[in-house]
Structure 1
Amino acid sequence: MANRTTQAIVRFTNAFLLPGSNKPQPAGDYRVDHDEESIEGVSRLAWRRVGSFIHLPGIGVKISTHQMVPINAADLDAAIEKDNKTS
C-alpha cells in the first residue's frame, strides 16, 4: 500500500478557533498537509485521507517556533465554511 502527502493553502479572512484550542488563530494563509493511503481497485487507483495537519502559525508570520497540529478534516471544513459565511 502506497502513501502520499498532499499540501494545500487555506485562507481565513477572520480569526478562527481550532477544536481543542483555547486561543484563536489570526486571519491569514495556513499550510495544510493531508496524508493519504492508496486503495487499489481492479480498474483504478484511489486515495483515502488518513490524517490532516495544519501548520501554525500562518504563512509569513515571523516567530521562533512552528508546529504542525493534527486536525480532523471535518473540523477544518467546518472552520472554512464558517469563515466563508462571515466574510
Structure 2
Amino acid sequence: MTIRSRRETITFKHPVHIRGIARALPAGAYEVVTDEEMIEGLSFASWRRIATMINVPSEGVQGATEMLSIGSVDLADAQAADAQSEEARAVHD
C-alpha cells in the first residue's frame, strides 16, 4: 500500500469552530496535512483520503502546537463559514 501526505496552509480571517475540536481557534494561518493511500488495481493512479489533520496552537503551553485529526467535510464547513463571515462583514461596511 502506497501512502502520500499533502501539506497546505489555510488561513482563517475570523476565529473558527471546527467540529471535533472542543475550542474555538483564533484567526490565522494553519498547516493542514492530508494522508492519502493509492487505490490498487486500477490502470491509472488514483488516491483515497484516509486522514486529515490540522496543526493548532496547544492549550496551556505557550508557543507549542499540536496536530489534531479532523474530518475533511468539517474543515470545508469551517472554511465556508469563515468566508460567509467575511462576506457579511463587507455588506455591513
| Band the TM-score falls in, shorter-chain normalisation | 0.7 to 0.9
Given that 2:9 and 2:31 are in contact with CA atoms closer than 8 Å, whether structure 1 keeps it comes out as: yes
Q: Hey, which bits of structure 1, 4+ residues long, moved more than 6 A?
A: none
Q: What is the root-mean-square deviation in Å for CA atoms of aligned residues?
A: 1.8
Is 2:8 aligned against 1:4?
no
TM-score, normalising length: structure 2? 0.81
More helix by share: 2
Is 2:39 aligned against 1:31?
no
Q: Can you give the 5+ residue segments of structure 2 that lack an aligned partner in the other structure?
A: 87-93
TM-score, normalising length: structure 1? 0.86
Percent of pairs identical after alignment?
A: 31
What one-letter code is carried by the residue in structure 1 that aligns with 2:69? P
Match of 2:77 in 1: 78
How many residue pairs end up in the alignment? 83
Q: Can you give the 5+ residue segments of structure 1 that lack an aligned partner in the other structure?
A: 58-62
Is 2:49 aligned against 1:49?
yes
What one-letter code is carried by the residue in structure 2 that aligns with 1:49? R
What one-letter code is carried by the residue in structure 2 that aligns with 1:20? G
